[in-house]
Amino acid sequence: MPAYLPPETVVAALANQVGIIAGNAEKAVSRGVVRAGEALNGLMAEARAGQPVRMGAVEAGLGPILTAVQEGGLARWLDTVWTHDDATYQHCLLVAGLAAQFALHLGFRHEDQFRFVRAALIHDVGKARIPLEILNKPGRLDPDELAVMRTHAAIGHEVLRAGGECDPVTLSAVRHHHEMLDGSGYPDGLVGDQIGDMVRLLTICDIYAALTERRPYKSPMPMADAMAILAAMDGKLEMRLVESFGDAMAAAV
Ligand SMILES: [Fe+2]
Ligand SMILES: [Fe+2]
């Protein structure tokens, strides 16, 4: 722009530029949410119908999620995803967005970013086989319902294994995302080093997403309260990673 332009022209041009950038960010997020939603819907439908689960649509959703969070920002991603009223859909897209932010913050290589976001997007595929009255029950599950709900980790693993298109690292993440370092998790009661690095990261994103999800019957939990709950899980979660996750969240707001 030439130096002799009147200030109002410069301001108008800058405002236009800011508007374009904001518009692009908005578009990246809506495109990412749509693509990730399509990937997830296809996957869950196949799992529900007992058909072999294919990974092609999932792969197509991963790049748009990373681009959305990188260009549009995590806050925009969360605001969009929180408006979806299907609990499982909302949850999986929240975990995927959080994982994308975490991976970008940690400076993961391109391949590892994709691996982590893939596991995050599909980690609860086993919920496709859990009865809806348990899955969407408002409030606490009774012990019998909880036992049914907890089968989703092993079911998800089996559904993906039977499909024959899922890599071993992702399979392990799907099976073990509810394992805790002290052995109190499920389905296999793994302890410490038996739980891989990516699973540890995924579990943190999963718990944070569950705490901060938006449901019509409860008020949203503030980010600081969710971080305090994670920080109180010393012994179950790796605190170094919880702190790093907190930094990734703080960097996103
Ligand atoms: Fe789960
Ligand atoms: Fe989950």
Which span out of 2-11, 14-23, 131-140, 162-171 was modeled with the highest average pLDDT?
Answer: 162-171
Mean pLDDT to the nearest integer, 153-171: 94
Mean pLDDT to the nearest integer, 204-230: 92
Task: Return the active site residues.
Answer: 127
Nearest ligand, measured from the Cα of 95: 2
What tens digit of pLDDT does each residue of 224-253 get? 999 999 999 999 999 999 999 999 999 886
User: 173 C-alpha to center of ligand 2: Å?
Assistant: 11
pLDDT for the residue numbered 20: 66
Categorize the per-residue pLDDT at 209 as very low, low, confident or very high, splitting at 50, 70 and 90: very high
Residue ranges near ligand 1 (ion) with Cβ within 5 Å: 124
Categorize the per-residue pLDDT at 3 as very low, low, confident or very high, splitting at 50, 70 and 90: low
Q: Tell whether the model's pLDDT for residue 137 goes beyond 90.
A: no
pLDDT for the residue numbered 136: 86
User: 11 C-alpha to center of ligand 1: Å?
Assistant: 49
213 backbone dihedrals φ, ψ, rounded to 5°: -60, 155
Written out in words, the top-level CATH class of the domain with range 25-252 is: mainly alpha
- Tokens read off for 124: 């609860």
Residues written for the chain = 253
Percent of the chain at pLDDT > 90 equals 76
- Tokens read off for 207: 């718990």
User: 10 C-alpha to center of ligand 1: Å?
Assistant: 52
Q: Which 3 state secondary structure label does DSSP give 20?
A: helix
